[in-house]
Every structure is written in C-alpha cells, then in structure tokens.
C-alpha cells in the first residue's frame, strides 16, 4: 500500500441544466475520470482507517531478519473522537421562530408537528444513521444520505439509508446556486448471461430515473420529483479528519517500529572476536555453554566482546511527542498529555490550554456544513410527509447537542435567570443547551413551568379571547373600568 498525496475530493459539475437520455452518456464520459479518482481515494482512506497502512509493507536492507512492524492506528482514534464529540447525541429539530403570535392554534400545530417529526426520526433509528454518516464524513471528507418514499404503509411514509460513498456522487450545475442536477450511484448486479457480477449506474434527476448498463440507457419517471441523494461534505474541500496528517502518522509508525528493532538488535548483538581463532563448532558450543576458554599471545591480546549500540530512547520519545503533538494541533483534538501537567489552571483555562476549544471550533465548522445538507434532506422529508406534519422548512431549526452536562451549574443558573426575566420556556430551553430534545423537555415540563406563565394572556389586537374578556357584548364600557 503506497502513500498517496491526498488533497480532498473533487466536486463533480456540469454546465447542462437538465440531464436527458440524449446527453446523459456524454456527461458521464466527461465525469468518469473525476468519479474514478474520488472512488479510489475514498477506498484508500477507508482502508487506512481500518488499519491497512504502509507500515505493513516495511522492509529492511540491514539485518532484514529483524523487521518489526508496529501500527499505532491514530487515524481510527481521530475519527472515533470526532464522531463521538460532534455527533455523540442525536440531532434534534426544534422550532425556529413563532411567526404568527396572534394564532396560538397554528403555533401549537407546528409544535405538535415537530414532536411528531422527532418521533418519526427516532422510529427510523436516525441517530445510528447519523453516526454512520458522520463516520464516512470524517474518513472520506463526505457522506451521503438517501431518502425515498416508504413502500410499506406504516407509521412513517419515508425511509432513509446511508450509502457507501465509494461509488456515489452528486453532480452540481456550474451556474448560480450550484444546484444539484443529478445523483450517480454505482451498484454491482449479477449478469445472468455471463454469470459474473457487473457494475450498473443508477442515476436520479429531479424528473427522471436512469439505469446505465454500458452504453444502454433505460429511462423511467422519478415519481418523487426530487433528487433523493444528498451529499454531506465535512468541509468545502471534502478533506477527511486525518487526511492532512497521513505523512505524520506513517512517520510515527516507522519510529515505533524502529524503536522495537533497536531494542531487539541490542539484545541480539553480534559477538566480536579479536585475535581469537574459533570454528563454527566451537561457536555453537559457546552459545550452549555460555563460556569460552582461550589463550592470548604476547603482543596480541585476545578479546571477546559484543557489538552493540543502544538507541537513545529519550531523544526518540521527544521526536514521537512532537509528531503526535502536531497531529493533535492540525486535527483540532485535545491534548491527552495535559492531565500529566501540574498547574493551577482550572475551568475555562484548562479548556483553552488542553485544546478543547480547538476541538469545539472544528466541530462548529463541521456542524455548519452538516446543517446545510440536513436542510436539503428535510426538504425531501417534508415533500413526502409535509401534509401529515403541517410543517414548513422555515419552521424548523436543527440542533447538534454537545456536552449537555458540561458546566451544568452554570447552565441551570442561566436557565433560571432566563425564566425569571420573562423569557418564554420554548426559547430558554434550547438556548442553554441542557437537553438533547429541548422541545420534548419543554412539553414534558409544562405542568412544572406553570409558575412562570403569566396570570392573564397578553392583550393583543385581534385576540378573540382577550377581546371577549375586555369588551362586553353590548359594547358598553367595562363596569370595573368605570
């Protein structure tokens, strides 16, 4: 497995605004080189993440019998941390804003729709799908989600899947907005004629569905009316979490292997004989008995010694620490050695010193890209189930909760201060980031939040309930006011 210089995945684009059966093959011919390069690079990164790294092909020219191969799979460590830190808790949907304050029924309908939407995502086990999607994002620099109408009439009218990105692409238009014009998915099918598996391209456009078998194109209508595949880039360059430090990770593996070689070579050092004639048989006896008797001549003293030069482990460890530190800095990960330092820092100072602020910054960067793609997925979901939910995309805000229990006392005090200041619970609960699902938490806490509710509804023009209380039926002034 040779080292490959990687700089992110290519974005596939085309100038055609509409893909038809007539221009499809010509567009595919132009995109095949970039499609194949992205597929090969994603496969390399995934195999590297699983432990198939260049260190296993290590060779030595000097003393080749001592050639240890030590793998420190920091790539897996980086992806596991990023995935757990950024998407350790389920992505939730909450209300973005109350646009019509005069209609409580409409507001309550949106609230029930959001609760139902979260229930539907829980039914589809979206949390585990998001975790799988995040793993692909941090390994390959991007992932894909596929949403289609459900074939079975059950609780949910749609179903989700996370396809393998090694063979999936979304092609964008080169014009304003860079809107997706088609999706490409390579699948392997069994050929009944040849008896061998063969690749087949499944292509969705907003209106049509194509299958491409060689130069043969089959066309059907896309009943969904949208492209069901959504790309989730980790960043604009589609760079994986450990992609920029592959050279450093290979060097760490090489240094670790050389350290073990140095130790083994020190133990298995050659013997040096000066002015001593010894045969092969005598040397074998020496190894069995562990002792040798010999005589030396005047002027030619005999000497038996070991040829050894021990590796300086302290300097080697300094090099390893530097390499690993650079990996942490570039990848935006906390310093694991921070706990071994004795300082008087506490609280936020520790967060800044040990690199947790850098980890949070990287997570926010990924979160912004994730939300942009998640909105495209929600458009498909609302297109399929919007009538049942009674929601619009502008009603929904996406939350990726992290560290709900961090600074717990500070967050609870902030929540109490917000409620005492008159902030609506629907606004205060998401703001403090205490609950994975603030909408559900607010709904479950209604009876306990009764003391924070105003005694009477705020008077507002057009509020029928308020007008009925303040204006008698005969349009006379209120007696109490007189």
The predicted pLDDT at position 330 comes to 92
The answer to the question of residue 151 being in a domain is no
Cβ contacts of 421-425, under 8 Å, gap ≥ 24:
425/449, 425/452
Q: What is the pTM of this model?
A: 0.77
**Does residue 16 form part of some domain?**
no
Q: Report residue 304 as tokens.
A: 């038996």
Residue 264 within any structural domain of the chain: yes
Which residues 6+ apart lie within 8 Å of 272 measured at CB?
303, 304, 305, 306, 307
Write the burial class of residue 49 (CB in 10 Å: 0-12 exposed, 13-18 middle, 19+ buried).
buried
Same domain assignment for residues 407 and 310:
no
The reported pLDDT for the residue numbered 343 is 55
Question: At a CB cut-off of 8 Å and minimum separation 6, what does 196 contact?
Answer: 190
CA distance 482 to 472: 13
Kindly state whether residue 418 falls inside one of the protein's structural domains.
yes
pLDDT at residue number 164: 94
With a cut of 50, list the residues of the chain below it in pLDDT. Answer: 102, 339-340, 458-482
417 and 349 belong to one structural domain = no
76 lies in a domain? Answer: no
As given in the structure block, the two tokens for residue 57 are 């092909």
| Pairing of β 208-213 and β 216-221 | antiparallel
pLDDT value at position 185? 94
Q: Are residues 335 and 424 in the same domain?
A: no
Same domain as 347, residue 248: yes
Count structural domains, the chain. Answer: 2
Alpha helices in 187-296 (DSSP H): 246-267, 280-289
Find the distance separating the first CA and the last CA of the chain, reported in whole Å.
Answer: 92
Torsion of CA 373, 375, 376, 377, to 10 degrees: 90
342, 408: one domain: no
Give the pLDDT score at 230.
Answer: 96
Is there a domain that residue 333 lies in?
yes
Strands (E), 348-424: 396-399
Q: Residue 332: left if φ>0, alpha if ψ -120 to 50, beta else—which one?
A: left
Angstrom CA distances, 461 to 79, 424, 478, 479, stand at 55, 20, 17, 21
Six-digit token string for 130: 């998001």
Decide if 139 is inside a domain. Answer: no
Give a yes or no: residue 221 inside a domain.
no
Q: Give exposure, 404-438, as e/b (b: 16+ Cβ within 10 Å).
A: eeeeeeebeebbeebbeeeeebbebbbebbbbbbb
Closest CA to 398 of 434, 372, 429: 372
Cα separations (Å) of 112 from 37, 161, 308, 395?
Answer: 46, 26, 76, 12
> Do 329 and 421 fall within a single domain?
no
- Same domain, yes or no: 332 and 267: yes
Ordered alpha helix ranges (H), 185-312: 246-267, 280-289
| 343 and 414 inside one domain | no
Cα–Cα separations (whole angstroms), residue 115 to 36, 370, 396? 42, 21, 11
Closest CA to 182 of 212, 156, 162, 208: 208
State the pairing for strand pair 208-213/197-204: antiparallel
Domain that holds residue 451: 403-463
Identify the pLDDT of residue 465.
43
> Quick one: tokens of 216?
């043969």
Report residue 283 CA to chain centroid gap. 60
């Amino acid at each position: 497995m040779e080292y490959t210089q990687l700089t992110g995945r290519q974005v596939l684009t085309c100038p055609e605004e509409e893909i038809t059966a007539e221009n499809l093959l010509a567009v595919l011919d132009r995109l095949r080189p970039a499609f194949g390069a992205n597929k090969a690079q994603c496969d390399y990164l995934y195999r590297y993440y699983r432990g198939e790294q260049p260190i296993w092909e290590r060779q030595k020219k000097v003393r080749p019998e001592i050639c240890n191969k030590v793998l420190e799979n920091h790539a897996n460590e980086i992806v596991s941390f990023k995935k757990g830190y950024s998407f350790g808790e389920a992505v939730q949907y909450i209300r973005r804003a109350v646009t019509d304050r005069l209609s409580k029924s409409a507001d309550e309908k949106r609230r029930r729709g959001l609760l139902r939407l979260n229930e539907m995502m829980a039914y589809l086990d979206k949390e585990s799908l998001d975790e799988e999607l995040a793993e692909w994002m941090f390994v390959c620099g991007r992932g894909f989600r596929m949403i289609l109408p459900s074939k079975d009439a059950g609780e949910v009218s749609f179903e989700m899947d996370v396809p393998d990105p090694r063979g999936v692409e979304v092609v964008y238009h080169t014009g304003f907005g860079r809107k997706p014009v088609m999706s490409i998915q390579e699948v392997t099918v069994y050929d009944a004629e040849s008896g061998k598996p063969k690749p087949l391209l499944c292509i969705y456009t907003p209106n049509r569905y194509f299958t491409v078998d060689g130069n043969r194109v089959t066309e059907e209508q896309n009943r969904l009316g949208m492209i069901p595949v959504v790309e989730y880039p980790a960043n604009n360059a589609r760079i994986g979490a450990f992609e920029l430090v592959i050279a450093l990770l290979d060097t760490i593996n090489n240094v670790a292997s050389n350290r073990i070689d140095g130790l083994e070579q020190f133990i298995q050092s050659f013997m040096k004989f000066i002015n001593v004639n010894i045969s092969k048989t005598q040397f074998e006896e020496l190894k069995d008995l562990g002792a040798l008797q010999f005589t030396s001549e005047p002027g030619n003293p005999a000497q038996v010694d070991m040829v050894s030069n021990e590796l300086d482990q302290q300097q080697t460890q300094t090099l390893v620490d530097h390499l690993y530190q650079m990996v942490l800095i570039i990848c935006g990960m906390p310093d694991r050695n921070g706990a071994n330092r004795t300082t008087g820092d506490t609280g936020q100072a520790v967060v800044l010193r040990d690199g947790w602020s850098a980890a949070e910054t990287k997570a926010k960067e990924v979160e912004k890209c994730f939300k942009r793609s998640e909105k495209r997925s929600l458009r498909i979901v609302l297109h399929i189930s919007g009538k049942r939910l009674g929601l619009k995309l502008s009603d929904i805000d996406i939350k990726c909760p992290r560290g709900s229990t961090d600074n717990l006392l500070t967050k609870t005090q902030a929540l109490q201060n917000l409620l005492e200041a008159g902030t609506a619970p629907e606004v205060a609960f998401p703001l403090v980031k205490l609950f994975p699902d603030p909408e559900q938490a607010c709904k479950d806490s209604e009876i306990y939040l009764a003391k924070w509710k105003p005694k009477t509804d705020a008077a507002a023009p057009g509020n029928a309930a308020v007008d009925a209380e303040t204006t008698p039926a005969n349009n006379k002034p209120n007696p109490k006011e007189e």
